[in-house]
Amino acid sequence: MSSNIQTLLNAVVATGIGSAFNLSALPRYLGGAHSFEVSGTFVGSVDIEGSIDGGFTWHALSTFTDVGGLYSNTGIYTHVRGNVTAWTSGSITLKARYGLLQDLKTDIDTLLTRLSSARAALLDNLTRLDAPISGISAVAQLENLIKQLRKEGKSV
């Protein structure tokens, strides 16, 4: 799994709702853990909001009233956004980190590499096993052949 960071509010200096970020539009969106970070120097309040219904209904996930805030939440949101609910001074930045599935080609290449290594080890082990087994089988077959020839009265 890889992750990406999206800026939801960038040095905002007023109250208001930020643009919604559509997570469900991402082709490899994983859902799960989301992390949010508030930075800047400000006097005010900012909400982190999430929606599970395509951005129609919003729910406050956490509220920050100072900088350096970090919030983590687990859920499958279709959209996330920042909402500056109070502002006196300074600027507010809000970033979100979300999970993405790795590129399918990367996953397949990784699996193929692991399978090739496992296959090579398996073949190597089978080759080592085959040498004594083949030797035992050949000896047993020769002994059976000698017994058969003796029964038939032939000299060996």
pLDDT digits (tens, 9 = 90+) for 103-156: 556 667 777 777 777 666 766 666 665 555 555 566 666 677 777 777 877 766
The C-alpha atoms of residue 112 and residue 153 are separated, in whole angstroms, by 58
Residue 18 banded pLDDT, cuts 50, 70, 90? very high
Q: Cβ distance 23 to 78 under 8 Å? A: yes
Query: What kind of architecture, by CATH, is found in domain 2-102?
Result: Sandwich (2.60)
Decide: helix, strand or coil at residue 63: strand
Instruction: Measure CA 150 to chain center.
Output: 69
Dihedral-angle region of residue 59 (phi above 0 means left; psi in -120 to 50 means alpha; beta otherwise): beta
What digits encode the pLDDT tens for the residues 24-41? Answer: 887 666 666 678 899 988
Structure-block tokens of residue 25? 């539009």
The C-alpha atoms of residue 136 and residue 144 are separated, in whole angstroms, by 12
Please give the model's pTM, rounded to 2 decimal places. 0.61
